[in-house]
Chain A
Amino acid sequence: MTSSLAQFLASVDKKAYKMANIATLNSQDALDIVQDTMEKMVRKYSDKQPQEWPPIFYRILHNCIMDFHRKKKFRNLFFFWQQHSPEEDSDNDENDRFIGYEQSCPEQLLSKSENIETMLTAIESLPKKQQQCFLLRCWQGFSVAKTAEIMECSQGTIKTHYSRAVAKLKGQLESLDA
């Protein structure tokens, strides 16, 4: 059971990190979220059937991401004098965004990276719930029902979030092309 769980975690860790990184715009916060998610997964759900693991794992991840945003909002509300300036934040975000990429062959990756960066920036700018919904549906390939289960909301809400996310992405990319 432990070896199959290890295989499962190895198969989802990069995607989980990327989802957390898109949601938090910070590499260290993303790693902390992945660590929390994996620890909860092993501690509480390792005895579940392997086919049940993916929705459980992404549900924990989603909850950890939402907790992160709640804590951040609370911190900003009550400790407003400790907030960083927008310039400082944007600098950190830029640095964090580039931490995750290899520096070895920039010539080959230049055009590819530009495309990836454009799309990732567009996804990052989505509202958090639309962003999570889009990543779970489009990237992880979960059905509407499973996504609703993971995000703990109705299927109608998921359909709304998803269609709005797609429309916003389309609008953003079209405005960039124009």
Chain B
Amino acid sequence: MPNTIEIHAKKSLDNSLEQLDEKIEQKLARIRQQALNQPTDSMFSFDFFQGRKLVAAFSIVAVTVLLSSYLFDFNMPSSVPSLLVQNEMVEDPDLLNDMEFIYWLSQENEQVLL
């Protein structure tokens, strides 16, 4: 239940609004219009996130392309047989036997000469 002071104050304040100068009202209308015409934060955030999405998508594509080309270079088919050949040469038992035989023969020859 409002007391007399509150009623009096409310009435005085309401009446003071009715007596506002026209120039002030015009300025308030202009301020209101300016405020409504400015962009909102939601507009900024939409553009910002759209930009981020594009950059993120581009980065993923770029990284994928670079990685795939890098991996492709290491898995070149031409390099595989050469490695296999090298391994076969080292581990060929016939060749090892031949080399052992040659070494034994040279040792024998040296003993005969002495």
Which residues does A use to contact B, with CB under 8 Å?
A: 2, 5-6, 9-10, 13-15, 17-18, 27, 31, 34-35, 38-39, 41-44, 46-47, 99-102, 109, 112-113, 115-116, 118-120, 123, 134-135, 138-139, 166, 169-170, 173
Contacts and interface: CB of A to CB of B under 8 A. Distances in A.
Contacts of A173: 5, 8
Contacts of A15: 17
Interface string B23-64: 111011101101110111110000000000000000000000
Contacts of A9: 32, 35-36
A134 B14 CA distance: 14
B101 to A, nearest CB: 91
B6 A138 contact: yes
Nearest to B4: A170
B28 A116 contact: no
A134 B20 contact: no
B41 A166 contact: no
Given A13-B28, A46-B40, A102 B9 contact: no
Nearest to A122: B9
B24 A17 contact: yes
B20 A46 contact: no
A2 B13 contact: no
Given A119-B9, A166-B3, A43 B17 contact: no
Interface residues of B, number: 33
A139 B41 contact: no
B9 A101 contact: no
Given A116-B15, A170-B5, A39 B38 contact: yes
A144 to B, nearest CB: 14
A159 to B, nearest CB: 14
Contact of A18 (B5, B13, B23): B13
A18 B36 contact: no
Contact of B40 (A14, A17, A43): A43
Contacts of B36: 2, 5-6, 9, 42
B22 interface: yes
13 contacts: A13-B32, A14-B17, A14-B25, A18-B13, A34-B28, A39-B35, A43-B38, A43-B39, A46-B42, A47-B42, A99-B24, A100-B21, A109-B19
A120 B16 contact: yes
Contacts of B35: 9, 35, 38-39, 41-42
Interface string B68-90: 00000000000000000000000
Contacts of A41: 35
